[in-house]
A and B are shown apart, each in its own frame.
Chain A
Amino acid sequence: MSLTLPDVKRIAHLARIEVTEDEAQATLNKLTGILGLIEQMQAVDTIGIAPMSHSQDVTQRLRDDVVTATNQRELFQSIAPAVENGLYLVPKVIE
Protein backbone atom coordinates (compact mmCIF):
# COMPACT_ATOMS: atom_id res chain seq x y z
CA MET A 1 0.00 0.00 0.00
CA SER A 2 1.50 3.34 -0.95
CA LEU A 3 0.90 6.67 0.76
CA THR A 4 -0.16 9.76 -1.15
CA LEU A 5 0.31 13.44 -0.43
CA PRO A 6 -3.32 13.83 0.75
CA ASP A 7 -2.72 10.85 3.10
CA VAL A 8 0.25 12.64 4.66
CA LYS A 9 -1.81 15.79 5.15
CA ARG A 10 -4.64 13.80 6.71
CA ILE A 11 -2.23 12.00 9.09
CA ALA A 12 -0.57 15.31 10.01
CA HIS A 13 -4.00 16.76 10.75
CA LEU A 14 -4.93 13.77 12.93
CA ALA A 15 -1.60 14.16 14.74
CA ARG A 16 -2.22 17.90 15.14
CA ILE A 17 1.03 18.84 13.43
CA GLU A 18 1.02 21.65 10.87
CA VAL A 19 2.92 20.78 7.68
CA THR A 20 3.80 23.02 4.76
CA GLU A 21 3.60 21.73 1.16
CA ASP A 22 7.37 21.20 1.05
CA GLU A 23 7.39 19.40 4.37
CA ALA A 24 4.49 17.20 3.28
CA GLN A 25 6.40 16.06 0.19
CA ALA A 26 9.60 15.36 2.16
CA THR A 27 7.58 13.57 4.83
CA LEU A 28 5.85 11.47 2.18
CA ASN A 29 9.21 10.19 0.93
CA LYS A 30 10.49 9.33 4.40
CA LEU A 31 7.22 7.74 5.58
CA THR A 32 7.05 5.66 2.41
CA GLY A 33 10.48 4.22 3.22
CA ILE A 34 9.48 3.43 6.79
CA LEU A 35 6.17 1.86 5.76
CA GLY A 36 8.09 -0.27 3.25
CA LEU A 37 10.10 -1.59 6.18
CA ILE A 38 6.94 -2.22 8.19
CA GLU A 39 5.32 -4.12 5.31
CA GLN A 40 7.78 -6.98 5.93
CA MET A 41 5.45 -8.01 8.78
CA GLN A 42 2.74 -9.05 6.34
CA ALA A 43 4.84 -11.96 5.06
CA VAL A 44 4.27 -13.87 8.31
CA ASP A 45 1.06 -15.74 9.06
CA THR A 46 -0.06 -14.80 12.58
CA ILE A 47 -3.51 -16.39 12.65
CA GLY A 48 -4.26 -17.72 16.12
CA ILE A 49 -1.33 -16.01 17.86
CA ALA A 50 -2.34 -14.06 20.93
CA PRO A 51 -1.15 -10.44 20.82
CA MET A 52 1.47 -9.55 23.43
CA SER A 53 1.51 -6.21 25.20
CA HIS A 54 3.64 -7.03 28.24
CA SER A 55 6.42 -9.54 28.69
CA GLN A 56 5.18 -10.80 32.04
CA ASP A 57 1.54 -10.86 30.96
CA VAL A 58 0.65 -9.08 34.19
CA THR A 59 -2.66 -7.40 34.84
CA GLN A 60 -3.12 -3.88 36.08
CA ARG A 61 -2.97 -3.49 39.84
CA LEU A 62 -5.88 -2.01 41.73
CA ARG A 63 -5.43 0.43 44.57
CA ASP A 64 -7.74 1.85 47.18
CA ASP A 65 -9.78 4.79 45.95
CA VAL A 66 -8.19 7.37 48.22
CA VAL A 67 -6.64 10.77 47.67
CA THR A 68 -2.87 10.46 47.38
CA ALA A 69 -1.87 13.65 45.60
CA THR A 70 -1.67 17.05 47.24
CA ASN A 71 -2.89 20.24 45.59
CA GLN A 72 0.04 21.88 43.82
CA ARG A 73 -1.88 24.15 41.48
CA GLU A 74 0.48 27.11 41.84
CA LEU A 75 3.59 25.05 41.25
CA PHE A 76 2.10 23.34 38.23
CA GLN A 77 0.74 26.54 36.77
CA SER A 78 4.06 28.31 37.19
CA ILE A 79 5.33 26.38 34.14
CA ALA A 80 2.23 26.91 31.98
CA PRO A 81 2.44 29.06 28.83
CA ALA A 82 -0.54 31.23 29.84
CA VAL A 83 -2.62 31.35 33.04
CA GLU A 84 -4.97 33.84 34.62
CA ASN A 85 -6.70 33.69 38.01
CA GLY A 86 -5.57 30.09 38.46
CA LEU A 87 -6.96 29.01 35.10
CA TYR A 88 -5.16 27.86 31.97
CA LEU A 89 -5.74 30.24 29.09
CA VAL A 90 -6.64 28.88 25.66
CA PRO A 91 -8.26 30.51 22.61
CA LYS A 92 -12.03 30.86 22.85
CA VAL A 93 -13.76 27.62 21.79
CA ILE A 94 -17.41 28.38 22.68
CA GLU A 95 -19.24 31.29 21.07
Chain B
Amino acid sequence: MMINSSLKELATLLASKKISSVEMTREFLARIDRLNPDINAFITLDKEKSLAQAAAADQRISQGNITPLTGIPFAQKDIFCAKGWRTTCGSKMLANFTAPYDAHIIEQFDRAGAVNLGKTNMDEFAMGSSNETSFFGKVQNPWDRARVPGGSSGGSAAAVAARLAPAATGTDTGGSIRQPASLCGLSGLKPTYGVCSRYGMIAFASSLDQAGPMAKSAEDLALMMNAMAGFDSRDSTSLQRETEDYTRDLNKPLAGLRIGLPKEYFAEGLDAGVAKVVEEAIAQYRKLGAETVGISLPNTQLSIPVYYVLAPAEASSNLSRYDGVRYGHRAPEYTDLLDMYCKSRAQGFGAEVKRRIMIGTYVLSAGYYDAYYLKAQQLRRLIAQDFEQAFKQCNVIMGPAAPGTAFKTGEKTDDPVAMYLEDIYTIAVNLAGLPGMSIPAGFANGLPVGLQIIGNYFDEAHMLNVGHTYQQATDWHTRMPEGI
Protein backbone atom coordinates (compact mmCIF):
# COMPACT_ATOMS: atom_id res chain seq x y z
CA MET B 1 0.00 0.00 0.00
CA MET B 2 2.63 2.51 -1.06
CA ILE B 3 -0.02 5.17 -1.68
CA ASN B 4 -0.92 5.28 2.01
CA SER B 5 2.65 4.95 3.28
CA SER B 6 4.27 7.49 5.56
CA LEU B 7 7.30 9.45 4.40
CA LYS B 8 9.43 7.33 6.71
CA GLU B 9 8.11 4.13 5.11
CA LEU B 10 8.73 5.51 1.63
CA ALA B 11 12.28 6.47 2.61
CA THR B 12 12.84 2.94 3.92
CA LEU B 13 11.56 1.43 0.65
CA LEU B 14 13.95 3.66 -1.28
CA ALA B 15 16.95 3.08 0.99
CA SER B 16 16.49 -0.70 0.86
CA LYS B 17 16.22 -0.46 -2.96
CA LYS B 18 12.86 -2.26 -2.92
CA ILE B 19 11.74 0.48 -5.25
CA SER B 20 13.60 3.25 -7.06
CA SER B 21 12.64 6.90 -6.97
CA VAL B 22 11.93 6.70 -10.71
CA GLU B 23 9.49 3.81 -10.12
CA MET B 24 7.86 5.58 -7.18
CA THR B 25 7.52 8.81 -9.15
CA ARG B 26 6.07 6.93 -12.14
CA GLU B 27 3.50 5.28 -9.90
CA PHE B 28 2.28 8.62 -8.54
CA LEU B 29 2.34 10.18 -12.04
CA ALA B 30 0.20 7.26 -13.27
CA ARG B 31 -2.28 7.92 -10.47
CA ILE B 32 -2.33 11.59 -11.47
CA ASP B 33 -2.98 10.61 -15.11
CA ARG B 34 -5.92 8.50 -13.99
CA LEU B 35 -7.54 10.74 -11.38
CA ASN B 36 -6.46 14.31 -12.05
CA PRO B 37 -8.69 14.87 -15.12
CA ASP B 38 -11.62 14.88 -12.66
CA ILE B 39 -10.08 16.06 -9.39
CA ASN B 40 -8.02 18.82 -11.07
CA ALA B 41 -5.57 19.02 -8.20
CA PHE B 42 -2.62 19.80 -10.48
CA ILE B 43 -2.27 22.75 -12.82
CA THR B 44 1.09 21.83 -14.32
CA LEU B 45 2.90 18.54 -14.73
CA ASP B 46 6.32 18.06 -16.31
CA LYS B 47 7.03 14.35 -16.25
CA GLU B 48 10.40 14.74 -17.90
CA LYS B 49 11.59 17.11 -15.18
CA SER B 50 10.08 15.02 -12.38
CA LEU B 51 11.67 11.82 -13.69
CA ALA B 52 15.04 13.51 -14.21
CA GLN B 53 14.97 14.57 -10.56
CA ALA B 54 13.98 11.03 -9.60
CA ALA B 55 16.89 9.59 -11.59
CA ALA B 56 19.25 12.02 -9.86
CA ALA B 57 17.79 10.95 -6.51
CA ASP B 58 18.40 7.30 -7.36
CA GLN B 59 22.00 8.22 -8.10
CA ARG B 60 22.26 9.88 -4.68
CA ILE B 61 20.69 6.88 -2.98
CA SER B 62 23.15 4.51 -4.64
CA GLN B 63 25.96 6.70 -3.28
CA GLY B 64 24.44 6.67 0.19
CA ASN B 65 24.07 10.47 0.13
CA ILE B 66 20.53 10.60 1.45
CA THR B 67 18.22 12.75 3.56
CA PRO B 68 14.82 11.63 4.90
CA LEU B 69 13.18 13.18 1.79
CA THR B 70 15.58 11.95 -0.92
CA GLY B 71 13.75 10.37 -3.83
CA ILE B 72 10.26 11.04 -2.47
CA PRO B 73 7.92 12.96 -4.80
CA PHE B 74 6.18 16.05 -3.41
CA ALA B 75 3.44 18.19 -4.94
CA GLN B 76 4.28 21.89 -4.86
CA LYS B 77 1.63 24.56 -4.54
CA ASP B 78 1.69 26.68 -7.68
CA ILE B 79 2.53 29.76 -5.61
CA PHE B 80 6.19 28.70 -5.36
CA CYS B 81 8.42 29.75 -8.24
CA ALA B 82 10.31 26.73 -9.58
CA LYS B 83 12.92 27.46 -12.22
CA GLY B 84 11.82 26.30 -15.67
CA TRP B 85 8.34 25.36 -14.40
CA ARG B 86 5.24 27.25 -15.36
CA THR B 87 4.19 29.03 -12.16
CA THR B 88 0.71 30.52 -12.36
CA CYS B 89 -0.52 31.23 -8.81
CA GLY B 90 -3.89 30.09 -10.16
CA SER B 91 -4.21 33.22 -12.28
CA LYS B 92 -4.68 34.04 -15.94
CA MET B 93 -2.23 36.87 -15.22
CA LEU B 94 0.58 34.29 -14.91
CA ALA B 95 -0.84 31.58 -17.18
CA ASN B 96 2.26 31.78 -19.39
CA PHE B 97 4.80 32.64 -16.70
CA THR B 98 7.80 30.32 -16.55
CA ALA B 99 9.65 31.08 -13.34
CA PRO B 100 13.24 32.21 -13.97
CA TYR B 101 14.36 31.23 -10.46
CA ASP B 102 13.58 28.93 -7.54
CA ALA B 103 11.73 29.85 -4.36
CA HIS B 104 13.72 29.11 -1.20
CA ILE B 105 11.26 26.33 -0.35
CA ILE B 106 11.82 24.72 -3.77
CA GLU B 107 15.60 25.01 -3.30
CA GLN B 108 15.29 23.30 0.06
CA PHE B 109 13.35 20.35 -1.39
CA ASP B 110 15.87 20.14 -4.26
CA ARG B 111 18.75 20.20 -1.82
CA ALA B 112 17.16 17.35 0.12
CA GLY B 113 16.96 15.35 -3.12
CA ALA B 114 13.16 15.36 -3.23
CA VAL B 115 11.25 15.11 -6.51
CA ASN B 116 8.90 17.85 -7.70
CA LEU B 117 5.83 15.91 -8.82
CA GLY B 118 3.97 18.93 -10.20
CA LYS B 119 2.36 22.25 -9.36
CA THR B 120 -0.94 22.17 -7.54
CA ASN B 121 -4.12 24.12 -8.11
CA MET B 122 -5.07 26.95 -5.77
CA ASP B 123 -7.38 29.88 -5.39
CA GLU B 124 -6.16 32.74 -7.57
CA PHE B 125 -3.28 34.47 -5.75
CA ALA B 126 -4.29 32.40 -2.69
CA MET B 127 -7.45 34.47 -2.26
CA GLY B 128 -10.21 32.07 -1.39
CA SER B 129 -11.36 29.28 0.89
CA SER B 130 -12.76 26.83 -1.66
CA ASN B 131 -10.36 26.69 -4.62
CA GLU B 132 -13.17 28.01 -6.80
CA THR B 133 -11.39 31.22 -7.83
CA SER B 134 -8.64 29.43 -9.76
CA PHE B 135 -8.34 30.37 -13.44
CA PHE B 136 -7.54 26.69 -14.01
CA GLY B 137 -10.85 25.42 -12.72
CA LYS B 138 -12.36 24.10 -9.55
CA VAL B 139 -10.86 21.25 -7.58
CA GLN B 140 -12.96 18.31 -6.37
CA ASN B 141 -12.84 17.15 -2.78
CA PRO B 142 -11.84 13.46 -3.03
CA TRP B 143 -14.22 12.64 -0.15
CA ASP B 144 -17.22 13.97 -2.09
CA ARG B 145 -16.60 15.13 -5.64
CA ALA B 146 -19.52 17.58 -5.52
CA ARG B 147 -17.83 19.47 -2.69
CA VAL B 148 -14.93 21.88 -2.42
CA PRO B 149 -11.54 20.85 -1.02
CA GLY B 150 -11.18 24.16 0.83
CA GLY B 151 -8.62 26.76 -0.05
CA SER B 152 -6.51 28.37 -0.95
CA SER B 153 -4.21 25.30 -0.90
CA GLY B 154 -7.08 23.18 -2.26
CA GLY B 155 -5.09 21.46 -5.00
CA SER B 156 -2.39 20.39 -2.54
CA ALA B 157 -5.04 19.11 -0.13
CA ALA B 158 -6.94 17.19 -2.81
CA ALA B 159 -3.70 15.76 -4.22
CA VAL B 160 -2.68 14.29 -0.86
CA ALA B 161 -6.23 13.21 0.07
CA ALA B 162 -6.58 11.33 -3.23
CA ARG B 163 -3.07 9.91 -2.67
CA LEU B 164 -1.82 11.50 -5.89
CA ALA B 165 1.20 12.62 -3.90
CA PRO B 166 2.68 11.45 -0.59
CA ALA B 167 2.66 15.04 0.69
CA ALA B 168 2.53 18.63 -0.55
CA THR B 169 3.43 22.18 0.28
CA GLY B 170 0.90 24.88 1.03
CA THR B 171 0.79 28.47 2.15
CA ASP B 172 -1.40 29.98 4.84
CA THR B 173 -2.29 33.68 4.98
CA GLY B 174 -5.61 33.32 6.82
CA GLY B 175 -6.13 29.56 7.06
CA SER B 176 -5.14 28.32 3.60
CA ILE B 177 -3.28 25.26 4.93
CA ARG B 178 -5.42 24.41 7.97
CA GLN B 179 -8.91 24.79 6.45
CA PRO B 180 -8.26 22.61 3.36
CA ALA B 181 -6.40 20.11 5.58
CA SER B 182 -9.52 19.99 7.75
CA LEU B 183 -11.91 19.62 4.79
CA CYS B 184 -9.78 16.89 3.15
CA GLY B 185 -8.80 14.87 6.22
CA LEU B 186 -5.11 15.78 6.30
CA SER B 187 -2.50 17.08 8.68
CA GLY B 188 -1.31 20.59 7.87
CA LEU B 189 0.96 23.02 9.70
CA LYS B 190 1.29 26.78 9.42
CA PRO B 191 4.55 27.61 11.17
CA THR B 192 5.32 30.72 13.22
CA TYR B 193 5.55 33.72 10.89
CA GLY B 194 9.15 34.06 9.70
CA VAL B 195 10.19 30.40 10.11
CA CYS B 196 9.90 29.50 6.39
CA SER B 197 11.31 31.92 3.86
CA ARG B 198 8.88 33.77 1.60
CA TYR B 199 11.54 34.21 -1.11
CA GLY B 200 10.05 33.16 -4.44
CA MET B 201 6.65 32.54 -2.90
CA ILE B 202 4.29 34.77 -4.86
CA ALA B 203 3.21 37.49 -2.43
CA PHE B 204 -0.38 37.99 -1.27
CA ALA B 205 -0.24 39.67 2.17
CA SER B 206 3.40 39.77 3.15
CA SER B 207 2.95 40.29 6.90
CA LEU B 208 0.75 37.16 7.10
CA ASP B 209 1.91 34.78 4.33
CA GLN B 210 3.67 31.68 5.58
CA ALA B 211 4.58 28.41 3.86
CA GLY B 212 4.02 25.06 5.49
CA PRO B 213 3.68 21.32 4.92
CA MET B 214 0.50 19.31 4.19
CA ALA B 215 0.67 15.57 4.68
CA LYS B 216 -1.04 12.55 6.15
CA SER B 217 0.50 12.66 9.61
CA ALA B 218 2.23 14.93 12.12
CA GLU B 219 5.35 12.83 11.75
CA ASP B 220 5.40 13.56 8.00
CA LEU B 221 4.93 17.27 8.74
CA ALA B 222 7.91 17.20 11.10
CA LEU B 223 10.15 15.62 8.45
CA MET B 224 9.08 18.23 5.89
CA MET B 225 9.59 21.08 8.37
CA ASN B 226 13.20 19.98 8.77
CA ALA B 227 13.69 20.75 5.08
CA MET B 228 11.43 23.80 4.81
CA ALA B 229 12.35 25.87 7.87
CA GLY B 230 15.44 27.99 8.12
CA PHE B 231 16.90 31.45 7.76
CA ASP B 232 17.12 33.01 4.32
CA SER B 233 18.69 36.45 3.92
CA ARG B 234 16.61 37.09 0.77
CA ASP B 235 13.40 37.33 2.82
CA SER B 236 13.63 40.45 4.98
CA THR B 237 11.25 38.95 7.56
CA SER B 238 12.98 35.55 7.75
CA LEU B 239 14.00 34.93 11.35
CA GLN B 240 17.58 34.12 12.31
CA ARG B 241 17.33 31.16 14.65
CA GLU B 242 19.20 28.01 15.54
CA THR B 243 18.39 25.07 13.26
CA GLU B 244 15.76 22.82 14.82
CA ASP B 245 15.00 19.14 14.48
CA TYR B 246 11.21 19.16 14.36
CA THR B 247 11.07 15.39 14.96
CA ARG B 248 12.94 15.64 18.26
CA ASP B 249 9.92 15.67 20.56
CA LEU B 250 7.52 13.49 18.56
CA ASN B 251 7.47 10.65 21.09
CA LYS B 252 7.50 12.63 24.32
CA PRO B 253 4.71 11.80 26.78
CA LEU B 254 1.84 14.27 26.98
CA ALA B 255 1.56 14.21 30.78
CA GLY B 256 1.26 17.75 32.12
CA LEU B 257 -0.13 19.12 28.85
CA ARG B 258 -2.64 21.90 29.51
CA ILE B 259 -5.06 22.42 26.64
CA GLY B 260 -6.88 25.75 26.44
CA LEU B 261 -10.39 25.62 25.00
CA PRO B 262 -11.48 29.07 23.82
CA LYS B 263 -15.18 29.53 24.44
CA GLU B 264 -15.42 31.66 21.29
CA TYR B 265 -14.42 28.61 19.17
CA PHE B 266 -17.34 26.56 20.45
CA ALA B 267 -20.01 29.24 20.14
CA GLU B 268 -22.75 29.98 17.62
CA GLY B 269 -21.79 29.31 14.03
CA LEU B 270 -20.06 25.99 14.69
CA ASP B 271 -21.67 22.97 13.02
CA ALA B 272 -23.00 20.54 15.65
CA GLY B 273 -21.41 17.54 13.94
CA VAL B 274 -18.02 19.26 13.86
CA ALA B 275 -18.38 20.29 17.52
CA LYS B 276 -19.04 16.68 18.50
CA VAL B 277 -15.96 15.37 16.67
CA VAL B 278 -13.74 18.07 18.18
CA GLU B 279 -15.08 17.36 21.68
CA GLU B 280 -14.38 13.64 21.21
CA ALA B 281 -10.83 14.43 20.14
CA ILE B 282 -10.35 16.54 23.25
CA ALA B 283 -11.74 13.68 25.37
CA GLN B 284 -9.10 11.46 23.75
CA TYR B 285 -6.43 13.95 24.86
CA ARG B 286 -7.73 13.79 28.41
CA LYS B 287 -7.34 10.01 28.23
CA LEU B 288 -3.78 10.55 27.07
CA GLY B 289 -3.05 12.52 30.22
CA ALA B 290 -3.81 16.12 29.24
CA GLU B 291 -5.79 18.59 31.31
CA THR B 292 -8.16 21.08 29.78
CA VAL B 293 -8.86 24.63 30.85
CA GLY B 294 -11.50 27.07 29.63
CA ILE B 295 -10.01 30.21 28.12
CA SER B 296 -11.26 33.23 26.23
CA LEU B 297 -10.03 34.90 23.04
CA PRO B 298 -12.44 37.84 23.28
CA ASN B 299 -11.43 39.53 20.02
CA THR B 300 -11.96 36.47 17.79
CA GLN B 301 -14.91 38.05 15.94
CA LEU B 302 -12.80 41.11 15.12
CA SER B 303 -10.16 39.01 13.39
CA ILE B 304 -12.23 38.81 10.20
CA PRO B 305 -12.75 42.57 9.69
CA VAL B 306 -9.13 43.23 10.69
CA TYR B 307 -7.90 40.62 8.21
CA TYR B 308 -10.11 42.00 5.43
CA VAL B 309 -8.43 45.37 5.84
CA LEU B 310 -4.82 44.26 6.28
CA ALA B 311 -4.69 41.43 3.74
CA PRO B 312 -6.34 43.37 0.86
CA ALA B 313 -4.24 46.46 1.69
CA GLU B 314 -1.04 44.45 1.41
CA ALA B 315 -2.38 42.61 -1.63
CA SER B 316 -3.23 45.82 -3.47
CA SER B 317 0.37 46.91 -3.00
CA ASN B 318 1.91 43.51 -3.85
CA LEU B 319 -0.25 42.97 -6.92
CA SER B 320 0.55 46.40 -8.36
CA ARG B 321 3.59 44.67 -9.88
CA TYR B 322 1.37 43.03 -12.50
CA ASP B 323 1.45 45.78 -15.08
CA GLY B 324 1.82 43.80 -18.28
CA VAL B 325 5.31 45.21 -18.87
CA ARG B 326 7.98 42.80 -17.63
CA TYR B 327 6.02 39.57 -17.31
CA GLY B 328 2.45 38.33 -17.05
CA HIS B 329 -0.59 39.03 -19.15
CA ARG B 330 -0.70 42.02 -21.48
CA ALA B 331 -3.96 42.99 -23.17
CA PRO B 332 -3.81 42.42 -26.94
CA GLU B 333 -5.23 45.89 -27.68
CA TYR B 334 -4.90 49.26 -25.93
CA THR B 335 -4.66 52.93 -26.72
CA ASP B 336 -1.94 54.19 -24.40
CA LEU B 337 0.11 53.16 -21.36
CA LEU B 338 -2.65 53.78 -18.81
CA ASP B 339 -5.13 51.90 -20.96
CA MET B 340 -2.64 49.04 -21.27
CA TYR B 341 -2.35 48.78 -17.46
CA CYS B 342 -6.11 48.96 -16.90
CA LYS B 343 -7.02 46.46 -19.62
CA SER B 344 -4.20 44.02 -18.83
CA ARG B 345 -5.19 43.94 -15.16
CA ALA B 346 -8.93 43.77 -15.92
CA GLN B 347 -8.33 40.76 -18.18
CA GLY B 348 -5.62 39.08 -16.11
CA PHE B 349 -7.27 39.11 -12.68
CA GLY B 350 -10.41 37.24 -11.66
CA ALA B 351 -13.37 38.79 -9.83
CA GLU B 352 -12.29 37.97 -6.25
CA VAL B 353 -8.75 39.23 -6.79
CA LYS B 354 -10.10 42.47 -8.28
CA ARG B 355 -12.44 42.90 -5.32
CA ARG B 356 -9.60 42.50 -2.84
CA ILE B 357 -7.31 44.85 -4.75
CA MET B 358 -10.09 47.43 -4.77
CA ILE B 359 -10.83 47.02 -1.05
CA GLY B 360 -7.11 47.42 -0.38
CA THR B 361 -6.87 50.44 -2.65
CA TYR B 362 -9.84 52.01 -0.90
CA VAL B 363 -8.62 51.49 2.67
CA LEU B 364 -5.19 52.88 1.76
CA SER B 365 -6.51 55.84 -0.23
CA ALA B 366 -5.95 59.40 0.98
CA GLY B 367 -7.94 60.25 4.11
CA TYR B 368 -8.87 56.68 5.04
CA TYR B 369 -5.55 55.32 6.32
CA ASP B 370 -6.18 56.01 10.02
CA ALA B 371 -9.76 54.79 9.98
CA TYR B 372 -8.92 51.49 8.34
CA TYR B 373 -5.30 50.38 8.09
CA LEU B 374 -4.03 51.93 11.33
CA LYS B 375 -7.16 50.88 13.20
CA ALA B 376 -6.75 47.31 11.93
CA GLN B 377 -3.11 47.23 13.01
CA GLN B 378 -4.12 48.41 16.50
CA LEU B 379 -6.77 45.70 16.71
CA ARG B 380 -4.21 43.22 15.47
CA ARG B 381 -2.25 43.90 18.64
CA LEU B 382 -5.33 43.28 20.79
CA ILE B 383 -5.85 39.96 19.01
CA ALA B 384 -2.22 38.98 19.60
CA GLN B 385 -2.55 39.98 23.27
CA ASP B 386 -5.57 37.67 23.62
CA PHE B 387 -3.29 34.76 22.79
CA GLU B 388 -0.52 36.07 25.05
CA GLN B 389 -2.98 36.06 27.96
CA ALA B 390 -4.34 32.63 27.00
CA PHE B 391 -0.91 31.02 26.93
CA LYS B 392 -0.43 31.98 30.58
CA GLN B 393 -3.06 29.35 31.36
CA CYS B 394 -2.26 26.60 28.85
CA ASN B 395 0.46 25.14 26.59
CA VAL B 396 -1.66 24.66 23.49
CA ILE B 397 -5.07 25.84 22.35
CA MET B 398 -7.49 23.47 20.66
CA GLY B 399 -10.68 23.89 18.72
CA PRO B 400 -12.15 23.34 15.28
CA ALA B 401 -10.12 24.39 12.23
CA ALA B 402 -13.24 25.30 10.24
CA PRO B 403 -16.85 25.94 11.28
CA GLY B 404 -18.19 23.15 9.07
CA THR B 405 -17.21 20.26 6.83
CA ALA B 406 -16.61 20.62 3.09
CA PHE B 407 -19.46 22.57 1.50
CA LYS B 408 -20.98 22.10 -1.95
CA THR B 409 -19.24 23.61 -4.95
CA GLY B 410 -20.94 26.90 -5.77
CA GLU B 411 -22.67 27.15 -2.40
CA LYS B 412 -20.81 30.28 -1.25
CA THR B 413 -19.43 31.76 -4.46
CA ASP B 414 -21.97 34.56 -4.69
CA ASP B 415 -21.49 35.75 -1.14
CA PRO B 416 -17.91 36.78 -0.37
CA VAL B 417 -18.75 37.61 3.25
CA ALA B 418 -20.11 34.07 3.89
CA MET B 419 -16.96 32.67 2.32
CA TYR B 420 -14.78 34.89 4.54
CA LEU B 421 -16.45 33.47 7.68
CA GLU B 422 -15.05 30.06 6.72
CA ASP B 423 -11.75 31.27 8.24
CA ILE B 424 -13.15 32.48 11.58
CA TYR B 425 -11.01 30.03 13.63
CA THR B 426 -7.82 30.36 11.63
CA ILE B 427 -7.33 34.04 10.79
CA ALA B 428 -6.46 35.28 14.29
CA VAL B 429 -3.51 32.87 14.34
CA ASN B 430 -2.04 34.55 11.25
CA LEU B 431 -2.67 38.01 12.66
CA ALA B 432 -0.81 37.04 15.84
CA GLY B 433 1.92 35.28 13.81
CA LEU B 434 1.49 32.07 15.81
CA PRO B 435 1.88 28.49 14.56
CA GLY B 436 -1.33 26.55 13.89
CA MET B 437 -2.01 23.01 12.81
CA SER B 438 -5.00 20.91 11.77
CA ILE B 439 -5.10 17.14 12.17
CA PRO B 440 -7.85 14.70 11.17
CA ALA B 441 -10.11 14.00 14.15
CA GLY B 442 -13.02 12.07 12.65
CA PHE B 443 -16.02 12.53 10.41
CA ALA B 444 -19.30 14.41 10.45
CA ASN B 445 -21.88 13.35 7.83
CA GLY B 446 -19.20 11.23 6.19
CA LEU B 447 -16.87 14.19 5.69
CA PRO B 448 -13.54 14.79 7.44
CA VAL B 449 -13.25 17.14 10.41
CA GLY B 450 -10.00 18.75 11.52
CA LEU B 451 -8.87 19.51 15.04
CA GLN B 452 -6.94 22.76 15.21
CA ILE B 453 -3.95 22.94 17.54
CA ILE B 454 -2.54 26.42 18.14
CA GLY B 455 0.84 26.76 19.82
CA ASN B 456 2.92 29.56 21.21
CA TYR B 457 5.64 31.15 19.06
CA PHE B 458 8.24 28.61 17.85
CA ASP B 459 6.41 25.76 19.57
CA GLU B 460 6.06 23.67 16.38
CA ALA B 461 8.07 20.68 17.65
CA HIS B 462 5.82 20.47 20.68
CA MET B 463 2.63 20.82 18.59
CA LEU B 464 3.87 18.02 16.33
CA ASN B 465 4.41 15.91 19.46
CA VAL B 466 0.83 16.67 20.51
CA GLY B 467 -0.44 15.72 17.04
CA HIS B 468 1.73 12.60 16.74
CA THR B 469 0.69 11.24 20.13
CA TYR B 470 -2.97 11.52 19.13
CA GLN B 471 -2.20 9.78 15.85
CA GLN B 472 -0.53 6.90 17.71
CA ALA B 473 -3.81 6.38 19.60
CA THR B 474 -6.25 6.95 16.70
CA ASP B 475 -6.34 6.07 13.00
CA TRP B 476 -8.27 8.97 11.48
CA HIS B 477 -5.15 10.14 9.65
CA THR B 478 -4.85 6.81 7.80
CA ARG B 479 -8.39 6.89 6.38
CA MET B 480 -8.69 7.25 2.63
CA PRO B 481 -11.65 8.31 0.51
CA GLU B 482 -13.36 5.68 -1.65
CA GLY B 483 -12.92 5.56 -5.39
CA ILE B 484 -9.28 6.56 -5.57
Listed in ascending order, the chain A residues whose CB lies under 8 Å from chain B are 3, 7-8, 11-19, 27, 30-31, 33-42, 44, 46, 49-56, 58, 60-61, 63, 72, 75-76, 78-82, 88, 90-93
Contacts and interface: CB of A to CB of B under 8 A. Distances in A.
25 contacts: A11-B358, A11-B362, A13-B342, A15-B357, A16-B341, A17-B345, A17-B346, A17-B354, A33-B415, A33-B416, A38-B372, A40-B305, A41-B375, A41-B376, A52-B384, A53-B377, A72-B100, A76-B100, A79-B98, A81-B324, A81-B328, A88-B325, A90-B325, A90-B337, A93-B337
Contacts of B341: 16
Interface residues of B, number: 72
Contacts of B304: 37
Contacts of B67: none
Contact of B416 (A15, A34, A40): A34
Interface string B149-163: 000000000000000
Interface string B218-253: 000000000000000100110100000000000000
Interface of B: 96-98, 100, 192-194, 207, 233, 236-237, 239, 299, 301-302, 304-306, 308-309, 316, 320, 323-330, 334-343, 345-346, 349, 354-355, 357-359, 361-363, 365, 371-372, 374-382, 384, 415-417, 420, 432-434, 457
B327 A79 contact: yes
A35 B371 CA distance: 12
A38 B310 CA distance: 11
Contacts, number: 167
Contacts of A49: 378-379, 381-382
In this complex, the member of B192, B193, B237, B415 whose beta carbon has the largest number of chain A beta carbons within 10 angstroms is: B237
A25 B259 CA distance: 48
Contact of B361 (A14, A40, A79, A88): A14
Contact of B343 (A18, A51, A53): A18
